[in-house]
Amino acid sequence: MSTSPTFTLDGREIPFEAGQTVLQAALTADVYIPHLCYHPEFKPHGSCKVCTIKADGRHVSACTWPARHGMVVENATEELDDLRRTLVQMLFAEGNHFCPSCEYSGHCLLQAVGYDLQVETAGFRHFFPVRPVDASHPEVWLDLNRCILCELCVRASDEVDGKHVFGLSGRGAGKHLIVNALSGRLADTDMAATDKAAEVCPVGVILKKKAGFRVPIGERPFDREPVSAQAARYAPRPPARHREED
Amino acid sequence: MSIASPAPQPAAALGAILERHDRRPEQLLQILREVQEHLGHVSDDIQAHIARELHLPLTRVRGVVGFYAFLSATPWGRYRVLFSDNITDRMQGNMDLLDHLCRRLLLEPGHPSEDGLVSVDTTSCTGLCDQGPGLLVNGRAIPAISRERLDLIAELILEGRPVTAWPAELFAIVDNVCRADMVLDNDLDPGDAVRAALARGDMSQVEQAANTRSWREANVAPPQGPLATLNEIRSANLRGRGGAGFTTAYKWESCRNAQGEQRYVVCNADEGEPGTFKDRVLLASHADLVFEGMTVCAYVVGAGRGFLYLRGEYRYLLGALEETLARRRRDHLLGRDILGTPGFSFDIEIHVGAGAYVCGEESALIESLEGKRGIPRNRPPYPVTHGYLQRPTTVNNVETFCAAALIAAHGGDWYRATGTPKSAGTKLMSVAGDCARPGIYEVPFGTTVAELLAMSGAEHTQAVQISGPSGTCIGPDEFERRIAFEDLATAGAFTVFDESRDMFEVARNYAHFFAHESCGFCTPCRVGTTILAATMDKIHDGHGTPYDLEEIATLDRVLNQSAHCGLGHTSCNPTLDTIKRFRPAYELHLKDLDFEPAFDLDGALRRARQMTGRDDPGAHLTTEPES
């Protein structure tokens, strides 16, 4: 048996397979690196920057940076966690996130990462953007107030559902999620509650109707255990729909 | 895709545009830009029509329209006036001039007139800093704006005369070359550099045969022709002129050696860095040299197709550039079997941008060439292996291609004789701001800042912004530093500020520029540049405290460490540099408090005052302690 290549992460040896990124290798080894826009079933694209690490002294996104044999990676340092806290504060400031009244509390990755990094203050003046709720679709809610622009729904609808229901428009602070209908309403798209795009949202923008609070607050995944203890849950795997086809 | 309303009847112009672009998805941006030019906007119905014709989801089309500043889904008016808003325009009084025009036209900035005739707004630097303030009317550039010229413009608009029928003198843009050297004074005729590269190839094959060192080398060596010119580029020590200074020969070689059947050469003429205008001059007066360099590059890397990505603000150069390309095709300098060389086929297509600074970043530029939103890609892989349509692509700056053409003609040794040991050749500097003679100065690398200031007649200089807002801001104690990759690396902007200028205001203008131009892909840049600009405004409005300076330092660190691309990384430079070197300029604006909220009680009543028409003391709230 040949020995697989490894890199060190905070002093620990992490094996990896060719083609894996630092984040993918770490999660496979059940080692947690904070992240938001990464999803185990999709090709990472590196927009949230919460997974920023230092690889051989250079700041890079762990989710997109290719693992290399002998690389020295810093992850859980005070400097990097401080950076991540600021990024999480920025995401909270940019949208309208009211955890106490949010149906997704306890499922929400932004909330979970915030708790895990011990983000205790707002940090920045909140933007309070005006973002409408789209309740037009019979099966799915779209509450853009919580959107962190991770593009997972865009990727899921393009790559798995083949429907292109979601897209992005605007730029800079004006960047926003759009849906594939001239009317701009979700009801006028091909969206279905069974779509992959309906289950990938990390923050509760896309919620299935008639399923709210089915799992009580207090018994949800991040209520029971901090996200950092669930690293293996995020180890890379092929998208569910592709798996079924195997 | 579901579309609720019936298909609209597309205008005849739209059909012709779609036809001309062969309904190819990668032409999407070019199609949208031309529709915008024809119809003044790209309505929802037309977007849906284009989406159907190109077999693209509507989200893709909407995403592109929403990304580029010069595209719009709603009408902006038959005349769209955009004032350039670089710091140099500000220094030349563009805001007063904008007010003047708005008063003449009876409208508010940013809002089209009720009759749909005209709108007035601002835009990022249009590259006319040496003859500013500048503006664009329906995409056509007008320099040297004054009240008199605006009065004329207002008359022309009110009488409804088409922009094409406006007096030509309004659009007269000059080169302002104040110092010429090897590039601007070149003695090449069209075709000279390409001929030299082809001839060198032939000679080198003879030499190779005569001097074969070993049978292995001789057998595995690919055709010698292009490699001989690559060697000259290498020995010239040519480095990229776009700012990053990457070794050109290494880039070309990597592209040449990359796997792939089709290769591309891309000229980055998206000169968006505020304060830079040298590419405008090269494209206006030395277009042959630019195309010559691209053709030499195509010969070296083995590319069959090239693109010139022209920034939207330079749209007015398009006609002349197309004519130059047509002439070069007639002269067999482009097209099939160039200069009768079998197999050496190359042609160039011009793509016009639509108002997005970030597209100057090479991978964002490639996305834009593919008709997408200009979002910088993740790297690796790099464009040399996975560029346009994921194929090997060489992207270089306009000035780099000019230098490459000179090297192909005169050789690497000749080129390297100018400049410093680490920075060969010359650099075109775009000098503007507080100096007697703004314009283009082509100087050998190694020239000091003080020398350039003296040449341009700058006096009482407080600071120079080198390479625009993403570059470095230096004060008098550093004026002996040199323009060179090993000292002050630069894309060419050289903006001079005399002692009368408030360096805080300079940084504030730049902070707004970055917030406006951020593509929005990554959190630190999308949110960070917005907060940075808001914090600078808070200080400007007299509500800043030392706490805000700390917050700026935090934002600068986050941007520098975690942004996705160069735009984000460097967007903190203007505040970092000015706080370090001109801290008193900030402190003048600060309150003597540790913290003050950005929320302004009295400001919150502004709207209510406007609605009720009141402005008496009772309609105001004060947060100041009464004295």
- The pLDDT tens digits of the residues spanning B290-316 come to 999 999 999 999 999 999 999 999 999
**CATH number, position B564:** 1.20.1440.230
Q: In chain B, how many domains are there?
A: 5
Range 56-95 of B in CB contact (< 8 A) with A: 57-60, 62-63, 65-67
**CB contact set of A26 (below 8 Å; sequence gap of 6+):** A9, A14, A32, A33, A62, A75, A231
Residues B450, B369 share a domain? no
A112 to chain B nearest CA, in Å?
18
Asked if residue B358 is part of any domain, the answer here is yes
Residue B622 pLDDT > 90: no
**Packing angle, helices B523-540 and A78-94, rounded to 10:** 70
Q: With beta carbons under 8 A apart, name residues in chain A contacting B526.
A: 94, 149, 172-173, 175
Confidence of residue B268 (pLDDT cuts 50, 70, 90): very high
- Which residues are B442's β-sheet partners? B428
Contact B4 A183 (CB under 8 A): yes
Asked if residue B93 is part of any domain, the answer here is yes
* Cβ-based burial of B575 (10 A; exposed 0-12, middle 13-18, buried ≥19): buried
pLDDT digits 0-9 by tens, B180-234: 999 999 999 999 999 999 998 775 554 444 444 443 344 444 446 899 999 999 9
Residue bearing tokens 């895990």: A116
Residues B239, B100 share a domain? no
Residues B264, B385 share a domain? yes
- Mean pLDDT score of chain B: 92
Contact B65 A169 (CB under 8 A): yes
Asked if residue B596 is part of any domain, the answer here is no
Per-residue tokens: A148: 């962190």
pLDDT of residue B599: 73
Contact B523 A59 (CB under 8 A): no
CATH number of A10-76: 3.10.20.740
Confidence of residue B334 (pLDDT cuts 50, 70, 90): very high
Chain A: residue nearest B514 by CA? A172
Residues B491, B438 share a domain? yes
Residues B246, B203 share a domain? yes
- Which residues are A6's β-sheet partners? A15
pLDDT digits 0-9 by tens, B27-66: 999 999 999 999 999 999 999 999 999 999 999 999 999 9
Q: Which of B62, B520, B523 sits opposite A48 (nearest CB)?
A: B523
* Cβ-based burial of A66 (10 A; exposed 0-12, middle 13-18, buried ≥19): middle
Query: Domain map of chain A by residue range?
Result: 10-76, 81-227
Asked if residue B329 is part of any domain, the answer here is yes
Most A-contacting residue of B42, B359, B521 (CB-CB within 10 A), to test interface: B521
pLDDT of residue B4: 41
- Which residues are B335's β-sheet partners? B346
Q: Which of A49, A166, A168 sits opposite B562 (nearest CB)?
A: A49
Give the range among B10-14, B138-142, B464-468 with minimum mean pLDDT.
B10-14
pLDDT of residue B7: 43
| Count of other CB atoms within 10 angstroms of residue B351 | 22
Q: Does A101 touch chain B (CB under 8 A)?
A: no
Q: Does A51 touch chain B (CB under 8 A)?
A: no
Cα angle for residues B387, B31, B34 (degrees, 5° grid): 125
**CATH number, position B127:** 3.40.30.10
Last residue of a domain, one of B416, B437, B465: B416
Confidence of residue B20 (pLDDT cuts 50, 70, 90): very high
pLDDT of residue A246: 41
Please give the single-letter amino acid code of residue B45: D
> Which domain covers residue B153, as residue numbers?
79-174
pLDDT digits 0-9 by tens, B151-183: 999 999 999 999 999 999 999 999 999 999 999
**Packing angle, helices B523-540 and B503-517, rounded to 10:** 150
Residues B334, B287 share a domain? yes
Residues B286, B137 share a domain? no
pLDDT of residue B593: 67
Mean pLDDT, range B401-414, rounded to an integer:
97
Q: Report the top-level CATH class of A81-227.
A: alpha beta
pLDDT tens over chain A, length 246 residues: 457 899 999 999 999 999 999 999 999 999 999 999 999 999 999 999 999 999 999 999 999 999 999 999 999 999 999 999 999 999 999 999 999 999 999 999 999 999 999 999 989 999 999 999 999 999 999 999 999 999 999 999 999 999 999 999 999 999 999 999 999 999 999 999 999 999 999 999 999 999 999 999 999 999 999 999 999 999 999 987 654 544
**CATH number, position B332:** 3.40.50.11540
Residues B231, B103 share a domain? no
Residues B410, B476 share a domain? no
Nearest to A116 by CA among A37, A223, A234, A22: A223
Q: Which residues of A81-115 are buried (b: 16+ CB within 10 A; e: fewer)?
A: eebbbbbbbbbbbbbbbeeeebbbbbbbbbbbbbb
pLDDT of residue B416: 97
The secondary structure element, H or E, covering residue B199 is helix B192-210
State the complex-level ipTM. Answer: 0.96
Q: Does B347 touch chain A (CB under 8 A)?
A: no
Q: Does B526 touch chain A (CB under 8 A)?
A: yes
Contact B564 A46 (CB under 8 A): yes
Measured CA to CA in angstroms, residue B142 lies from B36, B38, B350 at distances of 20, 20, 22
CA–CA separation, A134 and A144 (whole Å) = 8
A153 to chain B nearest CA, in Å?
13
Residues B458, B374 share a domain? no
pTM, 2 dp: 0.92
Residues B548, B436 share a domain? no
Most B-contacting residue of A124, A171, A180, A185 (CB-CB within 10 A), to test interface: A171
Q: With beta carbons under 8 A apart, name residues in chain A contacting B515.
A: 172-173
CA–CA separation, A25 and A51 (whole Å) = 13
What is the dihedral sign for C-alpha A34, A36, A40, A45?
negative
Q: How much of chain B exceeds pLDDT 90, in percent?
A: 85
Residues B573, B455 share a domain? no
| Count of other CB atoms within 10 angstroms of residue A39 | 23
